[in-house]
Amino acid sequence: MGLESLRCKECGADYPLDASYVCEQCFGPLEVAYDLGGLDAGETKRKIQAGSRGIWRYSDFLPFTEHPPAGRSPLEPGLTPLVRADRLAERLGLREVWVKNDAANPTHSFKDRVVAVAIAKARELGFETVACASTGNLANAVAAHAAAAGLDSYVLVPADLEEQKLLATAIYGTTLVGVHGTYDDVNRLCTQLSEARGWAFVNVNLRPYYADGSKTLAYETVEQLGWSLPDRVVCPIASGSLFTKLGRGFEEWRELGLVDGELPAFNGAQATGCDPVAEAFGAGQQTCRPRQGPDTIAKSLAIGNPADGPYALDLARHTGGAVDSVTDDEIRAGIRLLAETTGVFTETAGGVTTAVLAKLAERGDISADERVVLYITGEGLKTLDATRELFEMHEIDPSLEDFEHVVEQDRAAASGTVS
């Protein structure tokens, strides 16, 4: 069991395990190929359960020739809470909903997973500088993990990113570069820089390794559900990498006999202001038409030309799922719904995901006996401006009379109990 090669997802051509991401023959994307033969399921389960309290417990399924030393990674992500959300389920008329809260990672998003894997691989390959194109959460993670590893870093983002994410990136001492343009403009520049500079761009020339970090979310879900699979997952789609690697993680463990059952139905969630995958799904298309000029509060999902869009479409279709989009108002309502029923404050991407779950429930797409897992990928404190209009505070003088007159009467009026 171990690494085999980088393999083209389109034509199957094999390449060395270097810093490479595109097939020279057909220009298809590369991914890591593993030899998982001869694995004993029982022994593997015991090894995982005896492992670290984070993603390195799954090192046998990650792209390293030598496993990262567990316990010596100061920002090891993973094993974030999977919480049964009974009040959310009740509000939506569903039987069983679980919230996988990946805001509990070191820089408060799932990007810690992919960055930890990418930076460990960058060090294995001998790089001294790491970089990325980001819509915010990746910027935070790259800056923090590079600082912890003692590597130089460059982070390129759209210049109009949320201030909270910019501040939470610059603090780590990275070189932060704001680009006047969309994420797709930033990504094109980073592709050029990856060819012109000897740097490890985690989501460009290290993308095959970086993407595999998302599989750990699937592994944890199986473990935390008592070594069983959910019936349905609802997950945000930006590039489509997280969505498809969740599927790959579940599939690997099914193939190896670590878990039984069918793949869950995969439901993808996008914002209407930038929804090329949802648009293609609704039109019955196999590929995504790039969207220009994204216009949504869910900036972390605003990728107009998603690299893994076609694979996300295929996964949704063959598992009996779908890809839906929701408006900015629905996103805000989703943020509030999750907070009011679970106590989890999510950023806008989680508002998208929760709003899509609500849409599925309203449409009757989720059957009465299903167990659903909702993936929350980031912390609400990163996108405060998006929820500012939901803020309300009663201001009173320091007297019982004023409390009764203002607060209690306002609450009664809101509940409809005052004529």
Q: Does residue 249 share a domain with residue 204?
A: no
**Is residue 256, in this structure, part of any structural domain at all?**
yes
Listing DSSP states for 176-223 in one string gives EEEESS-HHHHHHHHHHHHHHS--EETTTTTHHHHHHTTHHHHHHHHH
pTM, rounded to two decimals: 0.93
Q: Does residue 199 share a domain with residue 348?
A: no
Number of domains in the chain: 2
pLDDT at 419 (0 to 100) = 39
Core vs surface per residue 113-126: b (16+ CB within 10 A) or e = bbbbbbbbbbbeee
Q: Does residue 313 share a domain with residue 255?
A: yes
pLDDT at 418 (0 to 100) = 42
Domain span at residue 148 reads: 111-212
Low-confidence ranges of the chain (pLDDT < 70): 1, 69-72, 413-419
Q: Does residue 318 share a domain with residue 279?
A: yes
For residue 35, the SS3 value is: strand
Rounded distance between C-alpha atoms, residue 339 and residue 410, angstroms: 21
**Is residue 321, in this structure, part of any structural domain at all?**
yes
Q: Does residue 208 share a domain with residue 101?
A: no
pLDDT digits (tens, 9 = 90+) for 358-416: 999 999 999 999 999 999 999 999 998 888 888 888 888 899 988 888 887 777 766 66
From 180, 212, 244, the end of a domain falls on: 212
Contacts of 62 (CB under 8 A, 6+ apart): 55, 117, 212, 213, 215, 216
**Is residue 417, in this structure, part of any structural domain at all?**
no
Half-sphere exposure for 148 (CA within 13 Å, toward CB): 19
pLDDT at 395 (0 to 100) = 87
% residues pLDDT > 70 (the chain): 97
**Is residue 416, in this structure, part of any structural domain at all?**
no
Q: Does residue 294 share a domain with residue 148?
A: no
From 165, 184, 212, the end of a domain falls on: 212
Q: Does residue 249 share a domain with residue 194?
A: no
For residue 371, the SS3 value is: strand
**Is residue 179, in this structure, part of any structural domain at all?**
yes
Give the sheet arrangement for strand 14-15, strand by strand: 14-15, 2-8, 30-35
